């Protein structure tokens, strides 16, 4: 029996082994490249979906702003948006007092505070309490004053409550002198002008 010519097959076997090694390296590289391309495509699709979502959200915001811009500008013109307009509130109370025939109106303004969360509903809503003391001839003077305040008020407000009390125990006389004292708490509302997205 003769032995196979190993020396003659040495180079062809080496070439076959090299080709197999190169094929394995090529397959491995192809698999890595395919995985990288798939990951890159997935990342690109996620980025595109996120960009489309941001664009949709931006368009919705623009539509919302366009729909409510006139209302916002009207509220800003009334003094509801931004800093407190305390001077306008005081002037409105004084004008309402003069119009109602109340001469010795007294007022006190508390510092601005956060409105209750249930009322604010996520907005930066603030409230300022004004306490008014009013000398009254008759009970109906209070209703006339509050109606006049409603007409002259520069801003958004709410009457939180009023009390009436007699100023003395003297019997009633038909004289032009205040025998009653009214005290009212008025809440003035403002929204701080900080940048927010509408939701």
Task: Give residue 1's pLDDT.
Answer: 56
pLDDT of residue 69: 76
Q: Are 156 and 80 in contact (CB under 8 A)?
A: yes
Report the predicted TM-score, pTM, of the whole model to 2 decimal places.
Answer: 0.60
Cα–Cα dist 159/131, whole Å: 10
Ramachandran region, residue 83 (left: φ > 0; alpha: ψ -120 to 50; beta: rest): beta
Note the pLDDT of residue 6. Answer: 67
pLDDT at 26 (0 to 100) = 85
Q: What single-letter DSSP state applies at residue 81?
A: B
Annotate 130-148 with b (16+ C-beta within 10 A) or e (fewer).
bebebbbeeeebbebbbeb
Instruction: Could you please state the CATH topology (level 3) that the domain comprising 86-191 is classified under.
Output: Alpha-Beta Plaits (3.30.70)
Spans of the chain below 70 pLDDT: 1-9, 77, 168-176, 193-199
pLDDT of res. 199 = 43
Q: What is the pLDDT of residue 144?
A: 92
Distance CA 57, CA 142 (A): 50
């Amino acid at each position: 029996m003769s032995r196979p010519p190993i020396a003659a097959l040495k180079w062809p076997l080496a070439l076959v082994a090299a080709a197999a090694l190169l094929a394995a390296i090529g397959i491995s590289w192809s698999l890595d490249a395919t995985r990288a391309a798939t990951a890159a495509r997935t990342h690109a699709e996620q980025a595109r979906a996120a960009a489309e979502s941001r664009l949709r959200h931006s368009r919705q915001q623009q539509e919302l702003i366009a729909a409510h811009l006139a209302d916002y500008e009207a509220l800003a013109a009334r003094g509801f948006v931004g800093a407190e307009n305390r001077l306008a509130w005081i002037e409105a109370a004084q004008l309402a007092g003069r119009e109602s025939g109340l001469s010795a109106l007294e007022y006190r303004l508390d510092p601005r505070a956060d409105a209750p969360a249930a009322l604010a509903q996520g907005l930066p809503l603030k409230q300022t309490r004004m306490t008014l003391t009013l000398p009254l001839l008759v009970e109906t003077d209070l209703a006339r004053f509050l109606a006049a305040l409603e007409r002259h008020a520069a801003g958004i407000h709410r009457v939180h409550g009023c009390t009436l009390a007699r100023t003395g125990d003297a019997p009633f006389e038909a004289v032009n002198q205040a025998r009653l004292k009214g005290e009212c708490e008025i809440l003035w509302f403002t929204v701080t002008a900080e940048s927010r997205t509408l939701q």
